[in-house]
Structure 1
């Protein structure tokens, strides 16, 4: 059992997202999280493993992991994307509603095909504040919506813009996730 993934089995987790058919042929809800992580990693089912970690880890750990994963590719982000990445990093360290709202406004200026867009969207959808305009009644996001956006950010960063190092990228980000799951800081040395 992991410090930050305290489940005996995956029944609760699999109720929040779906794995691919390939992954479901190998694991089931009765498996321990460690077994699922090991199988998905060994079979290189990286999209599924990203979704698994994004739903299994606590919200702040997921967003911290996503920030660190996207920093690996900081050489490909535009100046606005880099600014948003740093804004998201600051929010994870010190969550403030005004900062979350500022991120929400900035993300409207980048394409939804960007990994940074999806990281920013995950911060906005984290559940700590309303999705409605400030002067409207409060509307909270659906549970685990941030997890889907975070997984989208990491999986997008693995392949867009295209590069040949996506396998080593995934191995690095999964090492970070495993460190987080064990209660560590979730960072890798570069």
Structure 2
């Protein structure tokens, strides 16, 4: 059993996201997470596996995983993206509301296809505070909304900007996720 995904079956996790038809055909939801992870990895269903990890791991571990993985693409970041990436790393280490609100403001400067914007959106939607403007009544994000944003960040980073490192990126990402699921730090060397 995985320390950070202590489940004996995965029906509830699988219901949290829209999986591909191919994944639905091969996954036995009564299985433990390790079996599902191995099945998706072996079938090369990387996007589904990213969604699975993002919806199965606890919130901070999910965001930390994306930090570890997105560091693989730091060479393509603009100054604004690098600054926002650093702010997200800082938030994971010390999750404070002013930092979350700072991230909200900074992400508005980036385009939707920026994987760093999706990371920042995940931090903002993490469930620790309102997603409405500060002067308005509290509105909490939908449960696991951050998971969708983080999965978007990782899957976008795998392909944009275009490069030939997609498969290696995913393999390193999944090694990191599995390490985190076992209770490790997920650092990529």
- For the residue of structure 1 that corresponds to 2:187, the secondary structure is coil
TM-score with structure 2 setting the length:
0.99
Q: Does 1:34 align with 2:41?
A: no
Deviation at 1:32? 1.4
What is the aligned partner in structure 2 of residue 20 from structure 1?
A: 20
What is the aligned partner in structure 1 of residue 152 from structure 2?
A: 152
Structure 1 stretches of 4+ with a deviation exceeding 6 A read none
Aligned length: 189
What is the aligned partner in structure 2 of residue 108 from structure 1?
A: 108
TM-score with structure 1 setting the length:
0.98
Distance 1:154 1:20 in 2: 17
What is the aligned partner in structure 2 of residue 51 from structure 1?
A: 51
Q: How does 1:35-184 map to 2 (within 5 A)?
A: 35-184=35-184
RMSD, aligned CA: 0.6
Distance 1:37 1:28 in 2: 11
Structure 1 residues without counterparts, runs of 5 or longer: none
Distance 2:158 2:37 in 1: 18
Structure 2 residues without counterparts, runs of 5 or longer: none
Deviation at 1:16? 1.1
